[in-house]
């Protein structure tokens, strides 16, 4: 018969199973790490966007807040497009007045010779305090001189009349007051002087000095402080305005070099004035430019006012503000910059609001929680995968070992069966052919035949028992038995076997063992004992000694078999009870056996509620003890 050529059978490999278990985990971890990274990048990008908007809004709000300065800030210096001073205190006429406050002699060439003559006569009489000065001024006025001379003449005449308590003085002064363009030769506005004189002339019960004070402030002159001082009751608030304007004027004086150098056009600058730092910057009005100057404390207040409300701020970011080259709000430069935005103070742009990442823990809080969850998930999956891998690995190995042991078992069984059958056949054939004539020899042959068949029977009995145990079909029948007698009989039974190997059998039954009526399956117990004794005899050297002992106590019996064979290393004490396990390699094994003896012993003892203990070490023999509890 021809068998088809057989494919070589590959040994099962564990590698791919491991890959299948670990691959999903690796994929999950890779995907997770990638998506966590994306998460982080997204959070960062969102933060940058948000901070950009925040910084821009903040910068614009600061500019607005600076351009609506608090009172008492210098916001009233007005320049023309070229940076020339137009007004201080917001009033053009006042600035013009300041400009005109210079000595200006009257242009006598504008007078006719007759008028000039009359004018000079009146002036001389006035300076010499002659009595006809009033009449001379009257004559001059009648000549109809040009306005500045007329106003001057009226004013001088009014003063002369007033000195004589002439009520016509008031009328003259009122006329002078109407001309706001004429100045005294010392550069003082005559209308203001006239107003002062009228107010003084009115005496007790006169009208309030409010208008006088407001004019004194509105048209600043050297005598403004004097005028204000003359009407103290009405001047308190105007005095304040005056002082503020004075400060502005002084400040302007101080700023003059910077203004000519156009520093304000670059968007703002800092100056140190009167023991404090001031921010000077320009704002565009409709047809002029107005300079504002704020002390540093007010700048800080304006910045504070512009601060975005709590909900609009990003909890993780910290703003930093730089204004005209000075850090108004500090932030740590080592924090990563998220965004920066500027806003022009004037035409330049030297306000920068930056947002830095101060609390990365808050920004990445969500990502971190997710990372923690993911790490936990990966850990649990890894643990599960590791557990799966290990148990699969163990299962795989057990399977492999079992299948190896099974195949060894088959070859051992065939070998163990063949040997006694062969020797029995040889003995029986020799007897049958009548070759053995000597009756002594014949008896020995028959003895050997009995022994071999007993061994065969024992082997088969063991195999059958084992297969019953495997199928779970093994039944134990418990009944009281005399274990001491059972042990004695069994030792007797095994004597020929031991003798065959020149091994001495010794029996030590403890008299007080209390084994006369012990509930057990006596047949099974005997099988277990035979197996232990068979092993002990098998492993004993020729001339060795096997001791079988029975001890007892209140708890139960302890049945042991001891030999002085090669012993078993501690690490194999567990394995020898496994089915099909035999020590050493198949080829080098010296003893007979199929590897189920001890498994059967253990099964039987456990069925009795006991356990088998082994005490053995290489070179020191072995002692197997069956501990059987009393039920
Ligand atoms: P078998 O004897 O058929 O090989 P067992 O299950 O009875 O199978 O024993 C398992 C193994 O334990 C044996 O192969 C042997 O190596 C070892 N063993 C058992 N009893 C002894 C002993 N008394 N001394 C040394 N080794 C022993």
Ligand 1 atom nearest the C-alpha of 412 is 3
C-beta contacts of 395-401 below 8 A and 24+ residues apart: 396/12, 396/14, 396/17, 400/12
Task: Quickly state the pLDDT bin for 8 (edges 50, 70, 90).
Answer: very low
In short, whether 622's Cβ falls inside 6 Å of ligand 1 is yes
Residue 74: band (very low, low, confident or very high) from pLDDT cuts 50, 70, 90: low
Which residue has a Cα nearest atom 8 of ligand 1?
A: 595
409-453 pLDDT, tens per residue?
Answer: 788 788 888 888 888 999 999 889 988 888 898 998 898 898 888
Considering the chain, what is the average pLDDT of its residues?
Answer: 84
Q: Is the CB of 544 under 6 A from ligand 1?
A: no
Measured from the CB, is residue 602 less than 6 Å from ligand 1?
Answer: no
pLDDT at 526: 94
CB atoms within 10 A of CB 409: 20
Quick one: pLDDT at residue 93? 45
How high is the pLDDT of residue 88? 64
More confidently predicted of 77 and 440 = 440
DSSP 86-124: EEESS-HHHHHHHHH-S-----GGGS-HHHHHHHHHHHH
Identify the weakest region by mean pLDDT among 16-30, 111-125, 161-175, 282-296. 282-296
Give all strands (DSSP E) within 155-275, no chain letters: 269-273
> In the chain, pLDDT over 70 holds for what percent of residues?
90
d(CA 538, CA 597): 12
What pLDDT is stored for residue 582 in this prediction?
83
β-strand 337-342 against 326-329: which pairing, if any? unpaired
pLDDT at 100 exceeding the cut of 60: no
Verify whether ligand 1 is closer than 6 Å to residue 145 (CB atom): no
pLDDT tens profile 516-528: 888 999 999 999 9
Q: Which atom of ligand 1 is nearest to the CA of 599?
A: 6
**Ligand 1: does its nearest atom lie under 6 Å from the Cβ of 595?**
yes
pLDDT at 102 over 70: no
Residue 405 has pLDDT above 80, yes or no: no
Q: 255-269, 456-470, 477-491 — which is least confidently predicted?
A: 255-269
- For ligand 1, atom 7, the nearest C-alpha belongs to 597
Given a cut of 90, whether residue 279 has pLDDT beyond it is no
- Is residue 604 within 6 Å of ligand 1 at its C-beta? no
The answer, yes or no, to whether any atom of ligand 1 lies below 6 A from the CB of 536, is yes
Find, among 270, 306, 245, 331, the residue nearest to 63 by Cα: 306
Does ligand 1 have an atom closer than 6 angstroms to the CB of 302?
no
As a dihedral over the C-alpha atoms of residue 428, residue 431, residue 434, residue 439, rounded to 10 degrees, the angle is 180
Ligand 1 geometric centre to CA of 582 (Å): 6
The residue written with tokens 């003449």 in the block is 153
Distance of CA 567 from the midpoint of ligand 1 (Å) = 10
Separation between Cα atoms, residue 74 and residue 281, nearest integer Å: 10
pLDDT digits (tens, 9 = 90+) for 480-492: 999 999 999 999 9
Most confident of 301-305, 384-388, 553-557, 614-618: 614-618
Among the atoms of ligand 1, which is closest to the Cα of residue 584?
16
Decide whether any atom of ligand 1 lies within 6 Å of the 593 Cβ.
yes
- For residue 419, the CA-to-ligand 1 centroid distance in Å is 19
123 has a pLDDT exceeding 70: yes
122: pLDDT confidence band, cut at 50, 70 and 90?
very high
Ligand 1 center to 547 CA (angstroms): 17
Q: Is the dihedral of CA 540, 545, 547, 548 positive or negative?
A: positive
Question: Is the CB of residue 594 below 6 angstroms from any atom belonging to ligand 1?
Answer: yes
Burial class (CB in 10 A: 0-12, 13-18, 19+), 547: middle
172 Cβ inside 6 Å of ligand 1: no
Question: How many whole angstroms from 589 Cα to the centroid of ligand 1?
Answer: 11
pLDDT at 223: 81
pLDDT surpassing 80 at residue 559: yes
To test ligand 1's pocket by mutation, which of 405, 494, 535 has the most ligand atoms within 8 angstroms of CB? Answer: 535
In this structure, the residue with its CA closest to atom 18 of ligand 1 is 535
User: What confidence tens digit (pLDDT) does each residue in 177-207 have?
Assistant: 999 888 888 778 899 899 888 888 887 666 6
CA of 373 to the centre of ligand 1 (A): 54
Q: Give the long-range contacts of residues 360-364, CB within 8 A, separation 24 or more.
A: 360/316, 360/336, 361/316, 362/315, 362/316, 363/43, 363/44, 363/47, 363/316, 364/40, 364/43
Residue 96 has pLDDT above 60, yes or no: no
d(CA 353, CA 55): 5
Distance 450 CA to ligand 1 centre (A): 24
Strand partners of residue 500: none
CA-wise closest residue to 503 among 541, 535, 468, 555: 541
Q: What pLDDT digit, counting tens, does each position of 361-385 carry?
A: 888 888 888 889 988 998 999 899 8
pLDDT range class, residue 72, cuts 50, 70, 90 = very low
Residues in the chain: 631
Q: Is the minimum distance from the CB of 289 to ligand 1 under 6 angstroms?
A: no
CA of 561 from ligand 1 middle (Å) equals 13
The predicted pLDDT at position 604 comes to 94
Residue 254 C-alpha from the chain's centroid: 54
Segment (H or E) for 487: helix 483-500
Distance 535 CA to ligand 1 centre (A): 6
| pLDDT > 80? residue 81 | no
- Report the number of secondary-structure helices (H) and strands (E) in the chain: 17, 16
Q: Is the CB of 539 under 6 A from ligand 1?
A: yes
The rounded Å distance from CA 467 to ligand 1 centre is: 19
C-beta of 565 in contact with ligand 1 (< 6 A): yes
Q: 25-34, 165-174, 248-257, 309-318: which range is least confident on average?
A: 248-257
* Ligand 1 pocket member 267 (CB < 6 A): no
Residue minimizing CA distance to atom 3 of ligand 1: 593
CA geometry: angle 176, 181, 187, nearest 5 deg: 95
- Tell me the pLDDT tens digit for each residue of 607-628: 999 999 999 999 999 999 999 9
The larger pLDDT score, comparing residue 334 to residue 73, is at 334
Q: In the Cβ-directed half-sphere of 252, how many Cα atoms lie within 13 Å?
A: 22
C-beta 579 within 6 A of ligand 1: no
Extended beta strands in 259-325, E state: 269-273, 276-284, 289-295, 317-323
With the most atoms of ligand 1 within 8 angstroms of its CB, the residue from 536, 570, 576, 591 to mutate is: 576
pLDDT (tens digit, 9 = 90+) per residue, 46-56?
A: 999 999 999 99
Q: What is the residue with the minimal CA distance to atom 11 of ligand 1?
A: 582
């Amino acid at each position: 018969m021809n068998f088809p050529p057989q494919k070589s059978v590959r040994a099962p490999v564990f590698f791919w199973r491991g890959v299948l278990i670990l691959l999903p985990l690796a994929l999950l971890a890779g995907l997770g790490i990638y998506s966590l990274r994306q998460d982080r990048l997204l959070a960062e990008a969102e933060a940058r966007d948000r901070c950009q908007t925040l910084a821009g809004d903040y910068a614009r709000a600061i500019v607005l807040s600076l351009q609506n300065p608090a009172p008492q800030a210098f916001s009233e210096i007005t320049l023309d497009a070229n940076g020339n001073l137009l007004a201080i205190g917001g009033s053009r006429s006042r600035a013009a007045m300041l400009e005109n406050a210079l000595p200006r002699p009257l242009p006598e060439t504008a007078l006719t010779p007759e008028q000039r003559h009359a004018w000079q006569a009146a002036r001389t009489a006035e300076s010499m305090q002659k009595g006809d000065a009033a009449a001379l001024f009257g004559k001059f006025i009648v000549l109809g001189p040009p306005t500045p001379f007329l106003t001057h003449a009226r004013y001088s005449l009014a003063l002369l009349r007033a000195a004589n308590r002439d009520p016509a003085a008031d009328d003259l002064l009122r006329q002078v007051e109407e001309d706001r363009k004429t100045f005294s030769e010392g550069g003082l506005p005559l209308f203001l002087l006239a107003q002062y004189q009228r107010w003084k002339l009115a005496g007790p019960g006169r009208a309030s000095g409010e208008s006088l004070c407001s004019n004194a402030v509105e048209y600043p002159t050297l005598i403004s402080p004097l005028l204000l001082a003359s009407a103290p009751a009405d001047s308190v608030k105007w005095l304040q305005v005056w002082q503020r304007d004075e400060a502005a004027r002084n400040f302007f004086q101080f700023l003059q070099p910077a203004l000519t150098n156009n520093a304000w056009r670059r968007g703002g600058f800092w100056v140190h004035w009167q023991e404090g730092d001031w921010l000077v910057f320009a704002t565009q009005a409709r047809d002029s430019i107005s300079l504002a100057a704020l002390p540093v404390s007010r700048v800080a207040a304006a910045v504070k006012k512009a601060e975005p409300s709590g909900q609009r701020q990003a909890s993780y970011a910290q703003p930093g503000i730089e204004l005209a080259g000075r850090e108004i709000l500090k932030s740590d430069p080592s924090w990563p910059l998220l965004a920066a935005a500027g806003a022009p103070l004037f035409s330049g742009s030297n306000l920068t609001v930056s947002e830095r990442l101060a609390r990365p823990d808050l920004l990445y809080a969500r990502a971190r929680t997710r990372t923690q969850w993911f790490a936990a998930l990966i850990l649990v999956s890894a643990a599960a995968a590791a557990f799966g891998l290990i148990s699969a690995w163990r299962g795989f190995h057990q399977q492999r070992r079992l299948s190896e042991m099974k195949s060894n078992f088959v070859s051992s069984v065939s070998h163990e069966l063949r040997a006694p059958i062969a020797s029995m056949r040889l003995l029986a054939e020799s007897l049958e052919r009548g070759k053995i004539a000597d009756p002594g020899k014949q008896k020995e042959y028959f003895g050997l035949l009995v022994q071999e068949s007993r061994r065969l029977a024992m082997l088969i009995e063991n195999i059958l028992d084992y297969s019953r145990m495997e199928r779970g079909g093994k039944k134990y029948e418990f009944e009281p038995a005399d274990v001491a007698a059972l042990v004695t009989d069994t030792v007797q039974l095994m004597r020929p076997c031991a003798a065959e190997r020149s091994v001495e059998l010794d029996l030590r039954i403890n008299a007080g063992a209390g084994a006369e009526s012990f509930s057990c399956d006596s047949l099974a117990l005997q099988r277990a004992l035979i197996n232990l004794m068979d092993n002990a005899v098998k492993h004993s050297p020729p001339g060795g000694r096997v001791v079988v002992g029975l001890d007892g106590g209140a708890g139960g019996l302890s049945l042991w078999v001891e030999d002085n064979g090669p012993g078993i290393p501690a690490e194999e004490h567990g394995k020898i009870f496994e089915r099909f396990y035999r020590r050493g390699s198949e080829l080098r094994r010296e003893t007979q056996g199929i590897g189920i003896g001890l498994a059967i012993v253990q099964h039987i003892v456990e069925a009795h509620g006991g356990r088998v203990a082994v005490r053995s070490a290489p070179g020191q023999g072995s002692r197997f003890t069956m501990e059987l509890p009393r039920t």
